Each structure stands twice: as structure tokens, then as C-alpha cells.
Amino acid sequence: MISIAIDGPSGAGKSSLAKRLAAELGYVYVDTGAMYRAIGLYALRAGQNTRDAAAVAALLPAIRLDIRAGQGAQQVLLNGEDVTAAVRQEAVGMAASDVSAHPAVREFLLATQRALAERSNVLMDGRDIGTVVLPNATVKIYLTATPQARAQRRLAELQARGEAADYDTVLADICRRDDQDTHRAVAPLRQAADAIRLDTSDIGLEESYQLLKRTVLAHIA
């Protein structure tokens, strides 16, 4: 099986680029962030403090996650409920970052993530795919951009959806997520030694896509 690992900070454009490339290659797209988001959503709904490792770990036995992976799309079912759209909210992103720091949560998701890569050719996106989940991935990409460039894009996305947002708040959220994701003790966000770094700060979406595609094709051919 061929596996393409794409890691990087939030807002670097990973998911839209990865989804499109997976569809074009006919690979299964696996969005691991959505799995952490589903657990974050469950914890929020349960009224638990998402930073409390023991409280979050105690919820896990009641959580059943079903990942319906397809070409260029993924559905997440949380105890049978389709939460694919619900997990995209801003508050859920922060909760996901909180719960993802807990070793029990990472352990809970690891087997599911690896099993998906054993069954099909996958393009998997996340924070620790190249370093922990699929250390033997066929090709590893570290997709990044400056916090300022990511904040601009995120702001445009939120405004397009009609959500109230301002640049400073979005930038502060991005910096806080980066800080949490890179400084946690387990599986922190970092570039794998054998990953190819692509910086999209100064290029648009289409150019980023072509760069990603070219780079991936050069390694799986």
C-alpha cells in the first residue's frame, strides 16, 4: 500500500489540498484532525474540561468513532451521529487541540488510523503522521506557512462563511494552537527528519496544489 503523510500546523491549507490530491490520485483521504475534533466535541457536550486528562480519558469507553473514508472525502460518525460538519466549529478546534495532548486519546485513535492505512492507499493528514502514525510512509510532506499568512486565509474563510471574526483574534488563536500542538509531551507537531518541507506563505492555493502534487508524484512514481 502507498501512504502519503501530510503534517503541518493548523491553517496551512493541508485539508483542502490533501482532499483534492487524494481525489485526483484515487486514494482514500484520512483527516486525523477530525477524529480529535470528534473527541473534543464529545467532551464539550459532556461538559468536561477538555484540558483535564483524567476526565477526558474517562469518557473514552463511551465513545465509538466510525470513520467512513472515501476518495477525497471522509465522514465521521460519533456514536452513530454524523458529526462531519459539527466538528468544524472554531471552539471544537481548540477542544481538539486540548484533548489531543492526552496520551490516552492519542492511544485510542492510533490503531484506527493505522488500520485505515493498511487497507488502502491513503493520503493522511495531521500533526504526527510522518513521525508517529506512519513512520514508514511512502512520502512525507511537512506543509507550512507563517502564522500571519495562515491567519489571513483563515479570516477570509470565516468571512466567506458569514462568521464574525477579526484578524488579531484569528492570529492569536493560530499562535495558541501552534504553541499547544508543538509543545505537548506526546507526539508534538514537528517535521519528520525525512519529510519534505513545503512553505506556502507566499503562494496561492492553486500554486500550492501544483507544488504539492508535483512533489508527491515525484516520490510515488
H-type helices in the chain, by residue range?
14-25, 32-45, 53-59, 90-99, 103-119, 147-160, 167-183, 205-220
Residue 104 burial (CB < 10 Å; 0-12/13-18/19+)? middle
DSSP state of 195: P
Q: Does 10 bind ligand DC (CB under 6 A)?
A: yes
Q: Is 13 in the site for ligand DC (CB under 6 A)?
A: no
Q: Does 50 bind ligand DC (CB under 6 A)?
A: no
With the CA atoms of 117, 123, 129 and 133 taken in that order, what torsion angle do they form, in degrees rounded to the nearest 10? 0
Read off the C-alpha cell for 70. Answer: 472515501
Kindly tell me which of 26 and 103 has the beta carbon lying closer to ligand DC: 103
Q: Is 39 in the site for ligand DC (CB under 6 A)?
A: no
- Asked whether the beta carbons of 177 and 33 are under 8 A apart, the reply is no
Q: Toward ligand DC, which CB reaches closer, 3 or 10?
A: 10
**Residue closer to ligand DC, measured from CB, 27 or 128:** 128
d(CA 69, CA 71): 7
- Whichever of 88 and 197 has its CB closer to ligand DC, that residue is 88
Q: Does 37 bind ligand DC (CB under 6 A)?
A: yes
Which of 84, 117, 122, 126 touches ligand DC by CB under 6 A?
126
Distance, in Å, from the CA atom of 217 to the CA atom of 4, rounded to the nearest integer, reads 10
Only segment of 66-74, 93-101, 146-154, 211-219 that touches ligand DC (CB under 6 A): 93-101
The answer to whether the CB of 139 falls within 8 A of the CB of 216 is yes
Distances, alpha carbon 200 to alpha carbons 6, 134, 143, 192, 211, in Å:
14, 24, 7, 18, 9
The single residue among 5, 67, 108, 127 that binds ligand DC, judged by CB under 6 A, is 127
Site string for ligand DC, 15-34 (x = CB under 6 A): -----------------xx-
| Residues 150-209 close enough to bind ligand DC by CB under 6 A | 177, 181
Nearer to ligand DC, 126 or 147 (CB): 126
Which residues of this chain interact with ligand DC, rule CB under 6 A?
10, 32-33, 36-37, 93, 96-97, 100, 126-129, 177, 181
